Every structure is written in structure tokens, then in C-alpha cells.
């Protein structure tokens, strides 16, 4: 009986994905330098499955770009999950600013948190890249809404 309540379904469908994604970001940022390197190696293994020449990536310094692309992508997804939840509270354009602002604040707090993790540093550049990922997602959502106008709460 409890599982059929609207509040519980709302939590499962809208809150839980956002909270889990935020926990994932926190766990990844809380890794010390060695664990972070192992996570990068896991990403490199995934890239090798796509037949991407890893040695040339390493030689060219492109791994830095892969890591920054990860920042961009993670916050792109955070903006998506935020949008799904926030659309119940706000309407455009306030909705879009709320989504982007939430992601920027979370990115800044994440980088601040990294100042206290051994071997890690907080970076304003990373906050900027995270903010761009959130802005890209928000922009795509704005474009999608304008191309196919339907009330966002529908």
C-alpha cells in the first residue's frame, strides 16, 4: 500500500536519480590521487573498447581533455536530472536559471570539497567546465521546449 503513494513514486522517479547522481559525483571527487588515477584507467579501458589509440592520446596530452570532457558530461547529466525535478516547482525562464545555478553551486562545492581530499586540488577551471556542461544541457532543453512547445509539467 505504501509503495503506491504518489509521494513515494514522485521521490523514486524525480528525486532519487538526482540524489544518486550527486552521490556519484561526491564519491568520485572524494577519491584520493591514487584512486582517481585508477578511475581514469577504467575510463581508458572503456575507450580502448572503442578502438581509440590510447598511446597517441597519452603522447599528445589528450588525456587532460578526456578528463575535462568527463567533467563536462557529468554536469550535463546533473542538469538533466535537476531539470526533471525542478520543472515541478518553476516555469521557464526561472526554471532554466534554477537548474544552471544549482549545478554551478554544486560544482563549486565539489571543488571546495576536493581541497580537503589528499592529493586533490580544487580548480576554478573545473567549475567553469562543469558550468558549461550544465549550460549545454540547459540550452538543449530550452531548444527542445521551443521547437516542440508543450507545457513542461506535462
Q: How far apart are CA 136 and CA 148, in angstroms?
A: 18
Reading the block at residue 151, the C-alpha cell is 507545457
Q: Phi first, then psi: give them for residue 25, nearest 5 degrees.
A: -60, -45
pLDDT confidence of residue 42: 64
Residue-wise pLDDT for 25-71, tens only, equals: 999 888 776 665 656 666 666 667 777 776 676 666 767 777 888 89
For residue 19, the 8-state DSSP code is: H
CA dist 70 and 18 (Å) reads 18
The pTM of this model reads 0.79
Pull the grid cell for residue 105.
553551486
- Residue for cell digits 598511446? 55
Structure-block grid coordinates of residue 23? 552521490
Cα Rg, the chain, nearest whole Å: 18
Chain centroid, CA 105 distance in Å: 12
Residue 151 confidence (pLDDT): 58
How far apart CA 51 and CA 119 sit, in angstroms, is 31
CB atoms within 10 A of CB 101: 14
Confidence of residue 2 (pLDDT cuts 50, 70, 90): very low
pLDDT digits (tens, 9 = 90+) for 99-144: 999 999 999 999 999 999 888 888 999 999 999 999 999 999 989 8
CA pair distance 117, 111, nearest whole angstrom: 10
Amino acid at each position: 500500500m505504501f509503495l503506491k503513494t504518489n509521494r513515494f513514486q514522485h521521490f523514486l522517479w524525480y528525486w532519487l536519480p538526482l540524489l544518486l547522481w550527486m552521490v556519484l559525483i561526491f564519491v568520485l571527487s572524494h577519491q584520493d590521487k591514487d584512486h582517481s588515477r585508477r578511475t581514469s584507467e577504467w575510463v581508458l579501458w572503456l575507450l580502448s573498447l572503442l578502438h581509440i589509440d590510447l598511446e597517441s592520446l597519452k603522447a599528445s596530452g589528450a588525456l587532460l581533455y578526456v578528463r575535462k570532457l568527463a567533467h563536462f558530461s557529468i554536469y550535463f547529466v546533473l542538469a538533466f536530472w535537476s531539470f526533471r525535478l525542478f520543472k515541478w516547482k518553476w516555469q521557464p525562464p526561472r526554471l532554466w536559471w534554477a537548474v544552471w545555478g544549482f549545478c554551478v553551486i554544486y560544482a563549486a562545492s565539489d571543488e571546495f570539497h576536493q581541497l580537503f581530499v589528499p592529493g586533490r586540488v580544487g580548480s576554478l577551471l573545473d567549475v567553469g567546465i562543469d558550468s558549461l556542461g550544465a549550460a549545454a544541457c540547459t540550452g538543449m532543453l530550452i531548444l527542445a521546449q521551443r521547437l516542440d512547445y508543450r507545457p513542461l509539467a506535462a
